[in-house]
Structure 1
Amino acid sequence: MDPKELKFDKNGLIPAILQHVLTREVLMLGYMNSESLQKSIETGHCWFFSRSRARLWEKGESSGHFQVIESIAYDCDKDTLLLQVTPQGPTCHTGTQSCFDGAISTGELSNSSPTLYAALERLQVVVHQRNIERPADSYTTHLFEKGIGQIAKKFGEEGVEVALAAVSEEDDRLVSETADLLYNLTVLFEQREINLEEVGKVLLERAK
């Protein structure tokens, strides 16, 4: 469809919802005008129009946490956009994966836990920070200083621990060992400069 057919409001804006392409989690809501939409299409990154600053801005221009566009859809009324994206870090300026991090109490529904993917993404951010800052009292720093050989060895050891726990331990022990395994996998990927998003893409492709 020609973007000119979209229904912008009286101020020339249209709401744009960002959704994680892998987890389907809603990440943020912003507003686009025709120019920022065109820049988003041309660059493959999300551009918005700031109502408070009255200018175009690119999501991630300050933090480096860009949003790579995978697809753009519009609703049945043609007055709202849905952008499926691959985040290059936390979406919210507060450091959380999604800007929708708060919850209105609705009884049992308010007790829902964060998704595994959200936890892994947060872990990936923390591990990356440890790699850059290298705090002296951090175990993660110790692993990075030992290099890829030691990191790979530790990952292998944790894999064995998971297998043993699966055979002879209680469920909580298996869960704990699996958490250790995923932590060490995250460190390994950071050392190799590979984003966990790449694994998600392969899994989705294989699930077709």
Structure 2
Amino acid sequence: MLKVKNLNVHYGVIHAIHDVSFDVKQGEIVALIGANGAGKTSIMHAISGLLKPTSGEIDFLDENIMKIPAHQIISKKLAQVPEGRRIFAQLTVEENLELGAYLRTDNKVAEDMEQVYKRFPRLKERQNQFAGTLSGGEQQMLAMGRALMSKPKLLLLDEPSMGLSPILVNEIFDIIKEINARDGVTVLLVEQNANKALSIASRAYVLETGDITISGDANDVMNDPRVREAYLG
């Protein structure tokens, strides 16, 4: 579904991503783990069009999307839930969800919104509340719901557990598994909580200072001594 080949990203003279290559197959949950500052978010932003790479190839559903602007990439059924949620604080919960469906032309938006409310009952309770007044966990649910309103085939999740209590982290990861299994949405997951990410992923890549150093089946990566020492304690 997604093929990234020899991706390079620069910030001025800083070479942040070095010839990174990986793929995501349809139906998978693929985890991209690594320390803070390793370049995980840079890769996510490059895929979704928010950041222009220096070189490389990014193919989504057999189409090169490297030169396609971000607002057009989402119409191709690729959606990102950004780090820090980035919800529209001055709009209501329902207005945020409506914006997720902004590019849709079908007549099932209302039906899909009800499905989002069914999956996230707390959002239903707060549908007329300003999004900026929600708790961190509720904002994460809203960001995920907003992305799902675009009916993505591939969902990019950037640090969904950040700042959440352990109970809410478990809830969010259960929802990720459900979105993948029940809705058939493929997931690329960037997460500092390596243990949680590897526990739900089918495959994983480890990114260290802009290079992929380890890759393979999620269980094998979890049991790799280097990963256990660096990320799993």
TM-score normalised by length of structure 2:
0.28
> Which one has more relative contact order, counting CA pairs under 8 Å at least 6 apart?
2
Which is helix-richer, 1 or 2? 1
TM-score normalised by length of structure 1:
0.30
